[in-house]
């Protein structure tokens, strides 16, 4: 069968690649075309467009790039039509993918959505669009099933795909030391615009911790020069394509909000969650977003497991204070470790990629 998969960012590329592997295992004749990244291509799909050409973050940034976005949507529709897939699989990336879902439904194309848009955080009315356009919603957070049920829409919980990825990493991939000093990990994000905003603030704490080696997880799609320009003469290292190796050996981390916060927690690494964006975009988001937390760890556990430093709170003084707490034995660290263990339990043990592939194939065969 023919599968067309669309992912628009690094985390979608990771989960999409594991879905592609599972599809090939369950359907050896699978023909897969995708929008995504290097991982999805390496897993055996024909890559049409890379996510680095799609990632626009925040209200203001999206408005600035509307022309490019509309061109991408038009090209995507044309490419799907020419390919004529048995099923279209959309991975997160709602601003783009929900538009494609509505169009695809009108064309009579079967649509599966894997990794739900965060409609529970804002714009709940988008559930009406999903219900009308998506044949099957596959969710990766346990509370999302109840959320959709509230809207008379049945979603399938696949388990979280990070669990299988991280179990594999912990059990089969040895740690390669990156420094003789104890390490503090910096994960400033995967988009150039967020790195330019947050990384200088993260780096401002390095002089306060001279006994530690700060190491940045470099986004694979971005050049060394971007980071070197921001690092300047500071004794800070880059680790390219080694994020998990870095998380496994670090003592603490400064982590950009998003999937990385959950990855960090599943590795058991104490962390501070960092977010700072365009002031106008943030003001608009505050008006629209209804959730109490921004990190997936806190959202899943429904309590403040990890400290979140947002917008103006993301400054040198607060980062130094938060890091000192994490590097000292005490109640903050003890509670975080206990909550990390409970997080694994909350997410369950389903093999998410295999479950998702089964559901995709079921819809394709209808």
What per-residue string of b and e applies to 50-62 under the rule 16 or more CB within 10 Å gives b? bbbebbbbbbebe
- Structure tokens that stand for 71 in this block: 């061109």
The 10 Å Cβ neighbour count of residue 163 is 19
CA atoms 153, 258, 158, 363: torsion sign? positive
Residue-by-residue pLDDT tens, the chain, 366 positions: 999 999 998 889 999 999 999 999 999 999 999 999 999 999 999 999 999 877 555 444 555 556 677 889 999 999 999 999 999 999 999 989 999 999 999 999 999 999 999 887 677 778 999 999 999 999 999 999 999 999 999 999 999 999 999 999 999 999 999 999 999 999 999 888 889 999 999 999 999 999 999 999 998 878 999 999 999 999 999 999 999 999 999 999 999 988 899 999 999 999 999 998 765 555 555 545 556 888 999 999 999 999 999 999 999 999 999 999 999 988 899 999 999 999 999 999 899 999 999 999 999 998
* Contacts with 349 (C-beta within 8 Å, 6 or more apart), sequence order: 159, 163
Contact indicator for 340, 300 with CB cutoff of 8 Å: no
Q: How far apart are CA 22 and CA 114, in angstroms?
A: 14
Question: Does one domain contain both 148 and 288?
Answer: no
Task: Give yes or no: residues 312 and 217 share one domain.
Answer: yes
Read off the CATH number of the domain in which 269 is found.
3.40.50.2000
pTM for the full predicted model: 0.83
Q: How many CB atoms lie within 10 A of CB 88?
A: 28
Number of structural domains, the chain? 2
Task: Say whether both 72 and 186 belong to one domain.
Answer: no
User: 327 and 266 in one domain?
Assistant: yes
Residues 63 and 155 in one domain: yes
Pair of tokens at residue 144:
């999302």
45 in the same domain as 95: yes
The boundaries of the domain holding residue 107 are: 2-159+350-365
Residue 97 sits in the same domain as residue 185: no
Are 357 and 297 contained in the same domain? no
Whether residues 86 and 187 fall in one domain = no
């Amino acid at each position: 069968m023919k599968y067309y998969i669309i992912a628009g960012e690094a985390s979608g590329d990771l989960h999409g690649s594991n879905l592609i592997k599972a599809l090939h295992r369950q359907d050896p004749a699978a023909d897969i075309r995708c929008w995504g990244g290097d991982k999805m291509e390496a897993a055996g799909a024909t890559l049409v467009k890379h996510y680095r050409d799609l990632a626009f973050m925040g209200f203001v940034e999206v408005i600035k790039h509307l022309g490019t976005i509309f061109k991408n949507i038009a090209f995507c529709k044309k490419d799907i039509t020419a390919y004529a897939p048995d099923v279209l699989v959309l991975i997160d990336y709602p601003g783009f993918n929900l538009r494609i879902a509505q169009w695809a439904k009108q064309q009579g194309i079967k649509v599966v959505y894997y990794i739900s848009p965060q409609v529970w955080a804002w714009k709940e009315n988008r559930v009406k669009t999903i219900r009308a356009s998506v044949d099957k919603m596959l969710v990766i957070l346990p509370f999302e099933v109840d959320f959709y049920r509230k809207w008379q829409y049945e979603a399938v919980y696949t388990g979280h795909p990070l669990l299988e990825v991280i179990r594999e990493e912990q059990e089969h991939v040895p740690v390669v030391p990156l420094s003789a000093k104890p390490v503090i990990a910096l994960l400033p994000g995967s988009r150039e615009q967020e790195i330019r905003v947050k990384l200088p603030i993260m780096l401002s704490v390095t002089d306060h911790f001279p006994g530690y080696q700060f190491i940045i997880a470099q986004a694979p799609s971005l050049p060394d020069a971007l980071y070197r320009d921001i690092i300047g003469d500071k004794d800070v290292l880059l680790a390219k394509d080694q994020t998990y190796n870095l998380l496994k050996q670090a003592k603490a981390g400064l982590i950009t909000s998003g999937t990385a916060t959950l990855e960090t927690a599943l590795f058991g690494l104490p962390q501070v969650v960092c977010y700072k964006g365009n002031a106008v975009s943030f003001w608009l988001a505050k008006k629209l977003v209804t959730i109490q937390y921004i990190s997936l760890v806190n959202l899943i556990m429904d309590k403040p497991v990890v400290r979140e430093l947002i917008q103006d709170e993301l400054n040198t003084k607060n980062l130094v204070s938060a890091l000192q707490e994490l590097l000292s034995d005490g109640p903050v660290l003890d509670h975080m470790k206990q909550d990390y263990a409970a997080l694994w339990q909350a997410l369950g043990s389903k093999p998410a990629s295999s479950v998702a592939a089964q559901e995709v194939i079921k819809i394709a065969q209808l």
